[in-house]
Structure formats: structure tokens, C-alpha cells
Amino acid sequence: MEKIQVKPFSDLTGREVFCLSRIRDEVFVAEQGITVPELDDQDLAAYHVYLLNEQETDALAAARFFEDQGRYYIGRVAVQKAARRKGLASQLLSAIESYVLDQQLTDALYLHAQVSAKQLYLKNGYEEVGPIFEEAGIPHQLMEKKLH
């Protein structure tokens, strides 16, 4: 299996942008029926974290992280249906955590977890913060992980 990559948007190739757009469209639009535009301005400022298949024609897993008002947020965590339950989402989280620590960007990460995926984040050391809220018509939970 290929290595997880971490790149700012400006360093992505056209093929990588295509692969990342496709996995997000498959997971969030086709599977989950989210109608909010999948690509947004945050993508331009975000770091993109992903694992492509060996042929580099598809992303097996992808996420992004970005700074907003002094906090770093993880978002758009997506794993291809056929690649789930293999630890790829946890590997993405670990790659993000290592990157922000190596670059001394922050000592805490935040994310808006879909409630249905909350166990993944709890298992990876994230803690619930505040009440459940709705985003794009789906219940979410703000979560935080202090990095050491």
C-alpha cells in the first residue's frame, strides 16, 4: 500500500485534486445525500491528507485540516466503502497529528464528528465538547484532542 500524503492545496497535482474530489463526492453526496456544496473555499487553505491506490487513480481515504480563528480543525474524513474497517481513518488522524506536531502548528485538534462516526474519534483519543448540533442536516459533535 502507498504512503499517506500530507500536502497544502497548492502542492496538489490535477490528478490528486480529481481523486480527492471524487472520494468526497462518493462518500458525502452519493452515500450520505449531503446537498451542501462539497468543495468550498476552505479547501484552498487546507492541508489535504490522503492515500491513493497503487495506480494513483482513486483515493482510498482522505481528509483535510485547516486553521480557523487560532484552532486547527480536521474535516471531510472519507474512506472508500470497499476500504473501510481496515484502520485507514485512524491512519489519517495519526498522520495529521504527527504533521501538526512536527511543524509545531498546534497542541490541540478539533473536529465536527458525525454522531454515527463518533466512536472512531473516541477510540483515537478525541473527547466530546459541548452539545450535539446539526450540520448539513446531520447530527454532529464537536470533539477535541490535546496533543502531547
The residue ranges of every structural domain in the chain are 5-146
SS3 103: coil
**For position 37, what pLDDT does the model report?**
67
Q: How many CB atoms lie within 10 A of CB 11?
A: 11
Query: What DSSP line would sit under 25-94, residue for residue?
Result: IIIIIIIT---S-SS-THHHHSEEEEEE-TTSSSEEEEEEEEEETTEEEEEEEEE-GGGTTSSHHHHHHH
Q: Supply 65's cell numbers.
A: 485540516
Q: Supply 99's cell numbers.
A: 504533521
Q: Which of 56, 40, 39 has its CA nearest to residue 5?
A: 56
Q: Which CATH superfamily is domain 5-146 in?
A: Gcn5-related N-acetyltransferase (GNAT) (3.40.630.30)
- Alpha-carbon span 47 to 26, nearest angstrom: 20
pLDDT by residue for the chain (148 residues), tens only, comes to: 579 999 999 999 999 999 999 999 888 877 787 877 667 788 899 999 999 988 888 899 999 999 999 999 999 999 999 889 999 999 999 999 999 999 999 999 999 999 999 999 999 999 999 999 999 889 999 999 999 7
